[in-house]
């Protein structure tokens, strides 16, 4: 029988720490519910002590998402442990994930603590967490640059206080696979059999998946991953890549997991749309080209027998093509049913707004595909409500002999504001008009435009990242016209910045 590997997903915690990602509460819940459908064993919902908004999002996930263990991250301090437990106490099964740095460079430069101080903090925090729940995980941050003997000493201290999972993180992506395997093997051999060894690898040298696999082959039975490999700096071990290595090469590795791999493609698309992080075309498993063949030789081989050039069946991962085609004559029930078929469920008010956007787009596009519908739902989930600015109209003009100008009309509650601006191009002019109308100073950090589907009538999907008041925020816009999509993305980012500022003022 193959050994079972537990999948610990940290998309909503480490993944969300990637620059520019700031998921709304509804977005985090939507992703969490999809991760539950995917079948992850542990879902790390967030870091409750980091902000009031993060706490509420973790608590909402803990109360509503069934199936996975719901984990909350906390530093090795009483306040963090208490806050994390308060957030997950209503979960069907909750886990407290305690961490502290153990490398000399972190202890000296960041913590200003001695080894004895770190060991005492470890004992105290794990003991406090164990008082709340039997499921406690302990992480020795920067383990791959830690003195191995001290890492084991910290692990022993955590186990003595009741930790049942010990995590070996390659926090800065420093290790090579053979080195990481040796470190994990040492931990496995030194710790009691009932303790699960976990691995958490970053991708700074492009080795996150390789190191995670090496760790699992060396005895780890939990692997910490993120959808699409998102996360701090170069990201984390990719969930879909590790999952399909185990699924495809199970006989060679002697390993198995409990994921419903048919949900992988849907999960990847949802995370990409809600975070604003596109998936590179040549990304393994979930990239647009992962099952595409342009070479005539490859095309001939695949037509004769798919297995000639494909080691995975794309339909097994969830790539089944578009089945639903909706247009301007479709009704609200058909729209809702189509979204439900895609695994997307919106609250009634959000559904009404999404349907209004659908009808608006359907008037300008002959038919909408599954990808279009997912993009519309993602735009609605990230749009925000309440005091958000709503675009009522946008007029732009420009040409070879005409300076680009834009006029925008926005509504905020009962108030309507209109302003105009000139720019280097029509998109730049639209951004200037929006900035004047909202009175929000923002700097455009990045801009990405893509077509949701193929063809000349494809919807333009624009993702922008702005710096507002020293904070990075992301916005998404969807429209048949790229100027309108760009303006919607810019306005969405400003609305998000205003919402974050309002939340901080309330919590303060």
pLDDT one-digit tens code per residue, 55-84: 999 999 999 999 999 999 999 999 999 999
| CB 105 within 8 Å of CB 145 | yes
Same domain membership, residue 245 and residue 343: no
Mean pLDDT (whole number) for 382-403:
80
What one-character DSSP code corresponds to residue 232? S
Residue 53 pLDDT: 93
Q: How confident is the model at residue 455 (pLDDT cuts 50, 70, 90)?
A: confident
Residue 366 pLDDT: 64
Whole-number Å distance between alpha carbons of 272 and 94: 27
Residue 441 is assigned to a structural domain of this protein: yes
Whole-number Å distance between alpha carbons of 413 and 418: 14
Q: Which residues pair with 8 in a beta bridge?
A: 42, 224
Same domain membership, residue 211 and residue 158: yes
| CB 445 within 8 Å of CB 466 | yes
Residue 109 is assigned to a structural domain of this protein: yes
**Residue the block writes with tokens 């690898």:** 201
What one-character DSSP code corresponds to residue 202? B
| CB 250 within 8 Å of CB 217 | no
Task: Give the pair of three-digit tokens for residue 38.
Answer: 């995917």
Residue 286 is assigned to a structural domain of this protein: no
Choice among 23-37, 90-104, 245-259, 347-361 with the minimum mean pLDDT: 347-361
- Number of folded domains in the chain? 4
Whole-number Å distance between alpha carbons of 315 and 306: 12
Q: How confident is the model at residue 491 (pLDDT cuts 50, 70, 90)?
A: very high
Residue 252 is assigned to a structural domain of this protein: yes
Q: Which of 266, 231, 268, 272 is nearest to 18 (CA)?
A: 231
Same domain membership, residue 305 and residue 342: no
Residue 485 pLDDT: 92
Same domain membership, residue 123 and residue 37: yes
Find the largest Cα–Cα distance for the chain: 77
Residue 498 pLDDT: 87
Highest mean pLDDT among 1-5, 17-21, 307-311, 366-370: 17-21
Residue 308 pLDDT: 81
C-alpha torsion angle, residues 400, 402, 404, 409 (rounded to 10): -140
Residue 385 pLDDT: 47
Cβ-based neighbour number of residue 89 at 10 Å: 14
Same domain membership, residue 41 and residue 62: yes
Beta-carbon contacts of 251 under 8 Å, excluding residues fewer than 6 positions away, are none
Q: Which residues pair with 42 in a beta bridge?
A: 8, 69
**Residue the block writes with tokens 């993944």:** 15
Residue 348 pLDDT: 86
Residue 326 is assigned to a structural domain of this protein: no
Residue 504 pLDDT: 58
Res 290 pLDDT > 50: yes
| CB 253 within 8 Å of CB 260 | no
Res 277 pLDDT > 80: yes
Task: Give the pair of three-digit tokens for residue 62.
Answer: 């803990």
Same domain membership, residue 417 and residue 349: no
Same domain membership, residue 446 and residue 491: yes
Residue 325 is assigned to a structural domain of this protein: no
Same domain membership, residue 86 and residue 16: yes
Cβ-based neighbour number of residue 236 at 10 Å: 30
| CB 391 within 8 Å of CB 491 | yes
Residue 134 is assigned to a structural domain of this protein: yes
| CB 48 within 8 Å of CB 62 | no
Beta-carbon contacts of 112 under 8 Å, excluding residues fewer than 6 positions away, are none
Residue 323 pLDDT: 40
Whole-number Å distance between alpha carbons of 287 and 272: 11
pTM for the structure as a whole: 0.79
Whole-number Å distance between alpha carbons of 287 and 289: 5
Same domain membership, residue 297 and residue 358: no
Report the CATH number that the domain containing residue 479 is assigned in CATH: 3.30.160.270
Whole-number Å distance between alpha carbons of 254 and 258: 14
Cα–Cα distances (Å) from 36 to 8, 63, 273, 300, in that order, read 12, 13, 18, 39
Residue 436 is assigned to a structural domain of this protein: yes
The H helix count followed by the E strand count for the chain is 18, 16
Residue 71 pLDDT: 98
Task: Give the pair of three-digit tokens for residue 168.
Answer: 């070996």
| CB 490 within 8 Å of CB 430 | yes
Whole-number Å distance between alpha carbons of 116 and 154: 10
Residue 302 pLDDT: 59
Whole-number Å distance between alpha carbons of 125 and 161: 9
Same domain membership, residue 151 and residue 77: yes
Whole-number Å distance between alpha carbons of 308 and 300: 9
Question: Which structural domain, as residue segments, surrounds residue 347?
Answer: 332-381
Residue 137 pLDDT: 98
Same domain membership, residue 447 and residue 407: yes
Plot region of 72 (φ>0 → left; ψ -120 to 50 → alpha; else → beta): beta
Residue 324 pLDDT: 45
Whole-number Å distance between alpha carbons of 98 and 305: 50
Percentage, residues of the chain above pLDDT 70? 93
Q: In 51-205, which ranges are continuous DSSP H helix?
A: 52-64, 78-88, 104-106, 115-130, 148-160, 177-190
Residue 145 pLDDT: 98
| CB 138 within 8 Å of CB 165 | yes
- Which H or E run includes 394? strand 390-399
Q: Is the dihedral of CA 215, 221, 226, 229 positive or negative?
A: positive
Mean residue pLDDT of the chain comes to 90
Model confidence over 310-354: pLDDT tens digits? 878 888 888 753 344 567 767 777 788 778 877 888 888 888 888
Same domain membership, residue 499 and residue 368: no
Model confidence over 129-169: pLDDT tens digits? 999 999 999 999 999 999 999 999 999 999 999 999 999 99
């Amino acid at each position: 029988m193959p050994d079972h590997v537990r999948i610990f997903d940290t998309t909503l915690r480490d993944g969300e720490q990637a620059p520019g990602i700031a998921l709304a509460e509804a977005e985090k819940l939507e992703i969490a519910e999809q991760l539950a459908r995917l079948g992850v064993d542990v879902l790390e919902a967030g870091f409750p002590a980091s902000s009031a908004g993060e706490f509420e999002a973790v608590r909402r996930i803990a109360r509503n998402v069934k199936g996975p263990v719901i984990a909350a991250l906390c530093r090795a301090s009483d306040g963090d442990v208490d806050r994390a437990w308060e957030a997950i106490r209503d979960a069907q099964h909750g886990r407290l994930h305690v961490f502290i740095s153990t490398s000399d460079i972190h202890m000296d430069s960041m913590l200003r603590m001695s080894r004895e101080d770190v060991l005492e903090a470890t004992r105290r925090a794990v003991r406090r967490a164990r008082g709340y729940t039997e499921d406690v995980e302990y992480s020795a941050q920067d383990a791959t640059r830690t003195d191995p003997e001290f890492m084991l000493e910290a692990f022993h201290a955590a186990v003595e206080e009741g930790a049942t999972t010990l995590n070996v993180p390659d926090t800065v992506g420093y290790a090579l696979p053979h080195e990481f395997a040796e470190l994990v093997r040492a931990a496995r051999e030194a710790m009691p059999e009932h303790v699960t060894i976990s691995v958490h690898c970053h991708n700074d040298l492009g080795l996150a998946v390789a190191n995670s696999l090496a760790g699992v082959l060396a005895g780890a039975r939990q692997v910490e991953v993120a959808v699409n490999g998102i996360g701090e700096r170069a990201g984390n071990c990719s969930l879909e890549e590790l999952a399909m290595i185990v699924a495809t090469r199970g006989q060679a590795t002697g390993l198995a997991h409990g994921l419903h791999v048919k949900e992988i493609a849907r999960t990847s698309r949802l995370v990409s749309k809600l975070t604003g992080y596109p998936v590179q075309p040549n990304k393994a498993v979930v990239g647009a080209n992962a099952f595409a063949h342009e070479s005539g030789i490859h095309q001939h081989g695949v037509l004769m027998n798919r297995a000639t050039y494909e080691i995975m069946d794309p339909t097994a991962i969830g790539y089944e093509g578009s089945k639903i085609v909706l247009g301007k004559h479709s009704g609200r029930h058909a729209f809702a049913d189509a979204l439900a078929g895609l695994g997307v469920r919106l609250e009634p008010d959000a559904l009404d707004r999404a349907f209004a956007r659908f009808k608006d787009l359907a008037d300008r596009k002959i038919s909408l595909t599954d990808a279009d519908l997912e993009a519309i739902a993602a735009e609605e989930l990230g749009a925000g409500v309440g005091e958000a600015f709503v675009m009522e109209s946008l007029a732009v003009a420009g040409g070879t002999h005409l300076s680009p100008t834009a006029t925008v009309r926005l509504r905020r509650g009962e108030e309507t504001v209109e302003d105009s601006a000139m720019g280097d191009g029509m998109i730049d002019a639209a951004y200037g008009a929006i900035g004047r109308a909202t009175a929000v100073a923002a700097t455009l950090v990045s801009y990405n435009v893509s077509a949701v589907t193929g063809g000349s009538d494809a919807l333009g999907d624009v993702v922008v990242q702005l710096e507002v008041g020293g904070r990075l925020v992301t916005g998404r816009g969807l429209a048949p016209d790229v100027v309108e999509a760009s303006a919607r993305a810019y306005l969405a980012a400003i609305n998000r910045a205003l919402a974050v500022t309002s939340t901080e003022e309330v919590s303060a």
